[in-house]
Amino acid sequence: MNSEAQWGQSAQQFQHMLSEGWGKALQAFQQLGLPSLPTAAAAPVPPISFDTEKLQALQQQYVKEATDLWNASLSGTPEARDRRFAGEAWGSNPLASFTAAVYLLNSRSLAGLAEAVEADDKTRARIRFAVEQWAAASAPSNFLAFNAEAQKKALETQGESIAKGLQNLMHDLQQGHMSQTDESLFEVGRNVATTEGAVVFENELFQLIEYKPLTAKVHERPFLLIPPCINKFYILDLQPENSLIRHLVAEGHRTFVVSWRNPDESMGQKTWDDYIEHAAIQAIHTVQDITDAKTLNALGFCVGGTILGTALAVLAQRGEKPVESATFLTTFLDFSDTGILDLFIDDAFVKFREMQMGQGGLLKGQELASTFSFLRPNDLVWNYVVGNYLKGETPPAFDLLYWNSDSTNLPGPFYAWYLRNTYFENNLVKPGKAVVCGVPVDLGKVDIPVYLYGSREDHIVPITGAYASTRHLPGKKRFVMGASGHIAGVINPPAKKKRSHWIRSDGKLPATHAEWLAGAQEHAGSWWTDWTEWLAGHAGKLVPAPKTYGKGAKYKAIEPAPGRYVKQKA
C-alpha cells in the first residue's frame, strides 16, 4: 500500500476512534464515577475533513521520525523523552524503551491529526481533548505487561508489590475514589483546619466560624471569607504555616469564614437564590450584627467569588452597601473565556442537566472531583494508577491532596441555574439579564474597591478569565497575577519564599490581559504581602480585640472550629 493510501486509511481510523472507540472509553470513565464527562463529550463526532497541507506535512514528519526511531533501535536503546519513562528500568530495557518511543511518536501524530482537522474551534477543542484522553489512557506505563519499572519492582519484591497493589485497588474501590495521598494520616480539626475559633451561627446552608484573635488589637472592620461551595473551606486553613486564615488573624483582622454544609438529599431543592440570600447575604449581615460594624471587608475564592459578586450586586440593587472592599481570588464573573471547561458546555448538555436535576436532586461530589482530575489525566489519574496499583506504593502524605479528595455535593437546582447562567449564557455580566433573589443583577453597581487575583497556569479559571472581571466592576481595582495554578498559586505563604507575582506599578488596566502583562513587573515571592498591605488600607483603625466569640446569647459559641459541617462526607 502506498503512503497516501496509508494516510487516507489513518484518517478513517482516526474518525472511527473518535466516534466509536472514544465512546467505549467514555463508558469506562462512567464506571469510574464520571457521568458528567461522557455526557459532555460523547456527542456524535460529525464527519471530519483534514487540511491537506497539514496532513502531508504530518505524514512526512511521521515517516522521518519512524525511520530515525528504527535506526536508533538497531544501534542501541532509543530514548523516550517523557517523565513517565524516565526511570532506569525503562532505559535499560530495549523492548520497553522502544515501546515507549513508538507510543510517544503515535501520540504526537494523533495530536497532529487533531490539529489538522478542519472544523470550528469548539469541535477541534473537543477532538483535541478526546485524543489527549485516549493517549493518556493508552500509555504503556499504565499496564503491567509493558511497565518496566513495575515489572522490576515485582521481581525485586518477589511479587509483594503486586499483592500490595491489589490491596490498594480493593481499598479504593471500597472508599469510592482513587487515593492521591495517605488519607489515614489526616483528620479535619486535628492536623488540618486547626486555627482556633468557634462556630457562632448556623443555618441549613452554612456555619459561620469566628477565629480567636492573635493580636491585642484588631482592625475595626471585620473580614469575611466565602470559599467555594464545591470544596471545603479548609483549603484556606490546611496547616498553620500555609493557612491564609491564620495569616489574616495574625495581621490583626477579626476573621470570619463561611463553612458550607455538605448537601444531602434534604437539600436537593436548594437554588442559587438560596445560596445568595440565605448564605452569602446572611453571612454578611450576621458579621455586621456580631461586630456592630457598619461595613466589612470580604473575600471570595473561585465559585465563592462568583457567589460574593452576585450577592454584592443584589445588595446594591436594594440600596445596601455593607462591604467596604472585596477580594476575588481566581474567580469568574465574566464567563466568556472558561478555557478547557468550555468544551463540555453546549445547549444539549445544559438542557440534559436541567432535565436531570433542575427540579431537585444532587450532583455528587465524586463526579465533580473525577471530572476535574481528568482535566489533567497524567498528573491526577494515571500517575496514581501506576503508583498505587502497578507498583503497590502508598502515596505520600500531602495535605492539599487530602483536601482535594474530600469532595462535596451540590444541590441540583443550584447547579443547573449556575450552569446555564454562567458557563453557557454568561448572564452575570449582562446588566439585568440574570434575576437573583427577585432583583436584576448589575455588576456595574458594585462600586467598591476590589483586589483581583489570577494564577498564571490556572486550568480551571484561566488567567484571562480572572482578568475579565476588570471590565465589569466600576470601583478602584488592583489586579495581581501569581505563578502556578488554581490552588498552589493562591496558597503561597510569604515564609516559603516561593514563586513570583506580577503587578503593574502604573495601576493601568488595559482591555486585555496580554496588554496588562506587557507592562507588568515580576516580583519574587508571594502575592500575600502586596494584598496584606492593600487590605490594611481598607480595614480601618485598630481597636481592642474581642475577649469572647460572637455576641451575647444570640450569637454564642455553638461548638469549636472547624465545626460539624466541614466534617460531613459526600
Catalytic residues: 302
- Residue 515 to residues 26, 509, 520, 541, Cα–Cα distance (Å): 40, 8, 9, 37
H helical segments located in 419-556: 463-467, 513-518, 528-536
Enter the C-alpha cell of residue 365: 461530589
Dist. CA 310–CA 434, nearest whole Å: 10
Q: Which residue shows C-alpha cell 468544551?
A: 343
- Quote the cell numbers at residue 170: 480493593
Q: What is the DSSP string of 135-169?
A: HHHT-GGGSTTT-HHHHHHHHHTTTHHHHHHHHHH
Interhelix angle for 52-75 vs 3-16, to 10°?
100
What burial letters (b/e) apply to 430-461, b meaning 16+ CB within 10 Å?
Answer: eeeebebbeeebbbebbebbbbbbbbbebebb
Q: 301: Cβ–Cβ under 8 A, 6 or more apart, which residues?
A: 225, 226, 227, 228, 235, 236, 329, 330, 331, 490
Distance CA 440, CA 436 (A): 6
The answer to whether the CB of 476 falls within 8 A of the CB of 493 is no
Grid cell in block for residue 187: 483528620
At residue 80, φ and ψ (nearest 5 deg) are -105, 100
